[in-house]
Amino acid sequence: MTSELSPVDRAKFASAARAAEFVEDGMRVGLGTGSTAAWLVRCLGDKVRDNGLKFRGVPTSTRTAKLAREVGIEVITLDEAGWLDVTIDGADEFDGDLNLIKGGGGALLQEKIVATASDKMVVITDPAKSVETLGKFPLPVEVIPFGMRTTKTLIEEALGSMDVSGRDVTLRMDGDAPFVTDEGNHILDLHLGRIGNARQMALTLNQLPGVVENGLFIDICDVVVIGHSDGQVELRDVTSGGAQRQRPDAPKTDNLFRDLDG
């Protein structure tokens, strides 16, 4: 029951349960990566099992693919899907224009490819991820291993002319070794504090040799579903700019779904 969950888990469940309502029979659905996305996959698995919901999911990581199969969701590749009806994913930050920073879980490349191949992107999150200006969360940049030190230097030089509060660049680690993405790349985390011009930042980074993709999602998200610890959800739509408050049904289980970290 929701009363047995922590406030953070109640908020995650609330946003995931509401976002699951965007999925209808016959859809091709992008499935995000992270702890909140794991709640979504479990909610959709319940709908498949209990309500006979039939859809095909395109996971954005091997972790999400594994979980989706475990709960009975049919998994296909993006190439098999061709195009998606909706992608539902989490975010590390979002601003008033629904621009995002993503990649805290290390799946930003697949997440951005899947999101941009969708008619709609829905983000599930909590109030703590809302910011006036992007940049408090370190910006992930996926880079190829070859010449990584050179790529890091190029990024640091580019930041010198950018409107940011900080310019520290660190290699993401997994224990004693560099973190490796599903594509065999590494991630540099940019500790910027504030990004004055996110669009310029995204374009500049992707022009640098060695950079594969960055974690700025500009003009991609359509709806943000914000879960609250009291079980209510707030919907923000990029088109209307308005917000709605709702309360989804309580979960049937107290499973915290902590198998995926976001």
E strand map for 82-136: 86-89, 93-94, 100-101, 121-125
pLDDT > 80? residue 126 = yes
Whether residue 229 is found in the same domain as residue 126: yes
Please indicate if the annotation marks 92 as binding a ligand: yes
Percent of the chain with pLDDT over 70: 90
Q: How confident is the model at residue 43 (pLDDT cuts 50, 70, 90)?
A: very high
135 marked ligand binding residue = no
Q: Are 36 and 43 a contacting pair, CB within 8 Å?
A: no
**CA–CA separation, 36 and 243 (whole Å):** 21
pTM flag (> 0.75): yes
pLDDT at residue 259, as a whole number: 42
Q: Are residues 22 and 120 in the same domain?
A: yes
Mean pLDDT of 123-131: 96
> Using only C-alpha atoms, what is the Rg of the chain?
18
Does one domain contain both 114 and 146? no
Residue 248 pLDDT level (bands cut at 50, 70, 90): low
Predicted confidence (pLDDT) per residue in 206-230, tens digit: 999 999 999 999 999 999 999 999 9
Kindly tell me if the per-residue pLDDT of 151 is higher than 90.
yes
More confident residue, 150 or 259: 150
104 is an annotated ligand-binding site residue: yes
Any binding-site annotation on 105?
yes
Task: Report yes or no on 70 lying in a domain.
Answer: yes
* Token pair recorded at residue 199: 């669009």
Q: Is 102 annotated as belonging to a binding site?
A: yes
95 shares a domain with 40: yes
Token pair for 6: 């922590």
What pLDDT does residue 261 have?
A: 42
**Residue 255 resides in a domain:** no
Closest of 32, 90, 93, 22 to residue 57, by C-alpha: 32
Instruction: Give yes or no: residues 145 and 111 share one domain.
Output: no
Do 120 and 232 lie in one domain? The reply is: yes
What mean pLDDT comes out for the span 64-89? 98
Domains held by the chain: number: 2
Measured over the CA atoms of residue 256, residue 230, residue 101 and residue 244, the dihedral's sign is: positive
Alpha-helix residue ranges (DSSP H) falling in 71-107: 78-81
3-state secondary structure at position 151: helix
By annotation, the residues acting in catalysis are 111
Within-domain flag for 34: yes
Domain with residue 166: its CATH number is: 3.30.70.260
Q: Is the pLDDT of residue 1 over 50?
A: no
Dmax (CA) for the chain in angstroms is 55
- Are residues 225 and 99 both part of a single domain? yes
Determine if residue 91 is labeled as part of a ligand binding site: yes
Can you give the CATH number for the domain in which 16 is found?
Answer: 3.40.50.1360
Whether 158 has a pLDDT exceeding 90, the answer reads: yes
- Are residues 114 and 228 located together in one domain of the fold? yes
Residue 76 sits in the same domain as residue 53: yes
54 assigned ligand-binding residue: no
**Mean pLDDT calculated for residue range 77-89:** 98
Strand partners, 189: 140, 170
Whether 224 is in a domain gets the answer yes
What residue numbers bound the domain in which 56 lies? 2-130+219-246
